[in-house]
Amino acid sequence: MLGRTANGLFWMFRYIERAENTARLIDAGVRMSLTGTQGSDDEWTSVLKSAGVEANFLQHYENVTGPDAIDFMLRDERNSSSVLSVINSARSNARMVRTALTREAWESTNECWIDLTSRLARRVKDADLPSVLDLIKQRTGLIRGAFHGTMLRNEIFNFSRIGTFIERADNTARILDVKYYLLLPAVTYVGSSLDNVQWVSILRSVSAHRSYGWVYESDLNPTNIADFLILNGRMPRSLAYCHEKITNNLGYLETEYGTRHNAHDTALEILETLRNRDIRAIIDGGLHQFLEDFIRRNSRLGQEIAEAYRFY
């Protein structure tokens, strides 16, 4: 496969994943703003930080407000990570690799672009926001479903999956990091009803609220939540699950091409840091430092994959 095609598939699915993640972050932000004690706008700074766009936002706005934050994350073209921007990028990449996709995978991507371009052509009203967020999640889910249901399990599938899980792991790690160090207004809130509400919002933002309850019942314990989102190999948005899939798909590429690269070793090293680990040991050693290191290594892995498979 041409490196340019591999690059298109990798980034197409990173962008699709990012669109869904952003919609879930906004949904969590809305829930937190309705239950916060310090004013609804205060919660949106943490949401912008989680999305990694706070600095960009403040270049264009003097103050953080809910409506402006939502609009910036949904449809502002000055934000390369806004839903509208990444859906445009996903479709552009899909067009570039059109011959590598099934008709169903291409049509679901194109229909997603058509629907979201129309719905995000103007600022979304408060009353319409829930339906818009649902539409984003539904349309990106349809792309994933069409792709899984029709694509041959070959290198095309592998590069797409790797892009998905690199992006997903980055998102989960950033949300967790922001939670521990930025969301709580003071140490005195830890364990309070406000803390619990925010933890529920974080679980909802990574589609983990109900599945967490199946494992831990109703115990909203920060240690258990960190364990669930970092080390639980059955939770499809956990760091461990994502890197299990990345390592597996890189292994398929190694078999396909008969070549092993530095990226394979980096992926395996990251996975080993998540296997057979105890969450308390991670927290005692510094959760922030652990997550910061993970984000850096996850990003480096993406760069090594691009270099190994000549994404240019």
What's the rounded Cα separation, in Å, for the pair 81 and 182? 21
Residue-level pLDDT at 39: 52
Number of domains forming the structure of the chain: 1
**Sign of the CA dihedral running 152, 156, 158, 160:** negative
Structure tokens at 157: 């599938």
Residue-level pLDDT at 183: 45
Q: Which of 237, 236, 244 is nearest to 276 (CA)?
A: 244
Q: Which of 202, 170, 183, 164 is nearest to 299 (CA)?
A: 170
- Residue 123 per-residue DSSP state: P
What's the rounded Cα separation, in Å, for the pair 72 and 58? 11
Residue-level pLDDT at 241: 98
Q: pLDDT tens string for the chain (312 positions)?
A: 789 999 999 999 999 999 999 999 999 888 877 766 555 566 798 889 889 999 999 999 999 999 999 999 999 999 999 999 999 999 999 999 999 999 999 999 999 999 999 999 999 999 999 999 999 999 999 999 999 999 999 999 999 999 999 999 999 999 888 776 544 444 444 455 555 677 777 788 888 888 999 998 767 778 888 899 999 999 999 999 999 999 999 999 999 999 999 999 999 999 999 998 899 999 889 888 999 999 999 999 999 999 999 998
To the question of pTM greater than 0.75 for the whole model, the response is: yes
As a three-state string, the secondary structure of 10-69 is HHHHHHHHHHHHHHHHHHHHHHHHHHCCCCHHHHHHHHHHHHCCHHHHHHHCCCCCHHHH
- Residue 80 per-residue DSSP state: T
Residue burial 116-145, b: 16+ Cβ < 10 Å; e: rest: beebbeeebeeeebeebbebbbebbebbbe
Structure tokens at 1: 């496969």
What's the rounded Cα separation, in Å, for the pair 189 and 177? 17
Give the chain's radius of gyration (CA, Å).
Answer: 19
What's the rounded Cα separation, in Å, for the pair 9 and 279? 34
Integer CA distances (angstroms), 182 to 33, 179, 186, 208, in order: 15, 6, 9, 21
Residue-level pLDDT at 126: 93
What's the rounded Cα separation, in Å, for the pair 251 and 108? 29
Q: Which of 167, 163, 154 is nearest to 101 (CA)?
A: 154
Residue 284: burial class (beta carbons within 10 Å; 0-12, 13-18, 19+): exposed
- Residue 187 per-residue DSSP state: G
Domain that holds residue 282: 3-308
Residue-level pLDDT at 188: 46
Residue-level pLDDT at 291: 94
